[in-house]
Amino acid sequence: MSAVNSLSGWVVLVTGAGNGIGRAEAHAFHAEGATVVVTDIDRQAAEVVARELGDRAMAARLDVADGDQWAQVVSETNESHGPVRVLVNNAAIFTPEPNVDGDVDAWRRVLEGNVVGTLHGIRAVVPGMRDAGGGSIVDTISTAGTKGISATTGCHRPIRGASTTSRGGVVVHTGRSSR
């Protein structure tokens, strides 16, 4: 850890950190000296990662689509470690269902988790960031959110609407929130 890049004293909350990219992000921030709040809809997975990190780590179950859970996790974090200075919106819901024959309720769940969940997170952490003098919000999305997916109506690659639409929504929403 270098003094220039040190995040010592900063609290970082990573969603979807029970595995994959979120887990790697949690490890990277922890290596830079941050206290990391490892969140995942699978609490056991979050706890495993928090144990891997050791000190300066806290695990919490978080369904990002649930505003009340966001409020609870951020409140517990504020009480235990101080305000969240970095929010990493990594959790996402993917559905392979195509637009044409897809279930509308599945679409809603993807949009609730990926777009509304991002809004819940921003709303939950920004007051503490402001009080602390600033912070950062990082959204992890696939390139599908910025350029879409080449799709056909054939059987090779069905149109994947909800996941791609939600990723694009995160890009637009966060850009507007930063103003």
Instruction: Answer whether residue 79 shows pLDDT above 90.
Output: yes
pLDDT value, residue 159: 40
Closest-CA residue to 178 (of 147, 142, 135, 141): 135
107: which 2 tokens? 């679409």
Point out which residues pair with 137 in neighbouring strands: 87
CB 12 within 8 A of CB 36: yes
pLDDT value, residue 177: 52
- Helix (H) / strand (E) element for 60: namely strand 57-61
Integer angstrom CA distances of residue 97 from 9, 157, 160: 43, 11, 6
Instruction: Answer whether residue 155 shows pLDDT above 60.
Output: no
Distance CA 50, CA 95 (A): 28
- Helix (H) / strand (E) element for 35: namely strand 35-40
Structure confidence by residue, pLDDT tens digits, 2-15: 555 589 999 999 99
pLDDT value, residue 153: 38
Centre a 10 Å sphere on the Cβ of residue 44 and count the other Cβ atoms it contains.
Answer: 10
157: which 2 tokens? 């690659």
Structure confidence at residue 112 as a pLDDT band (50, 70, 90): confident
Closest-CA residue to 37 (of 6, 83, 2, 4): 83
Structural domains of the chain in order of their starting residue, each with its CATH number: 11-177 (3.40.50.720)
Residue that has been written with the tokens 């769940």 in this structure: 109
Helix 20-31 vs helix 43-53: angle between axes, to the nearest 10 degrees?
Answer: 30
Structure confidence by residue, pLDDT tens digits, 16-69: 999 999 999 999 999 999 999 999 999 999 999 999 999 999 999 999 999 999
75: which 2 tokens? 């409140």
pLDDT value, residue 76: 98
% pLDDT > 90, the chain: 59
CB 38 within 8 A of CB 46: yes
Handedness of CA 93, 114, 145, 140 (dihedral sign): negative
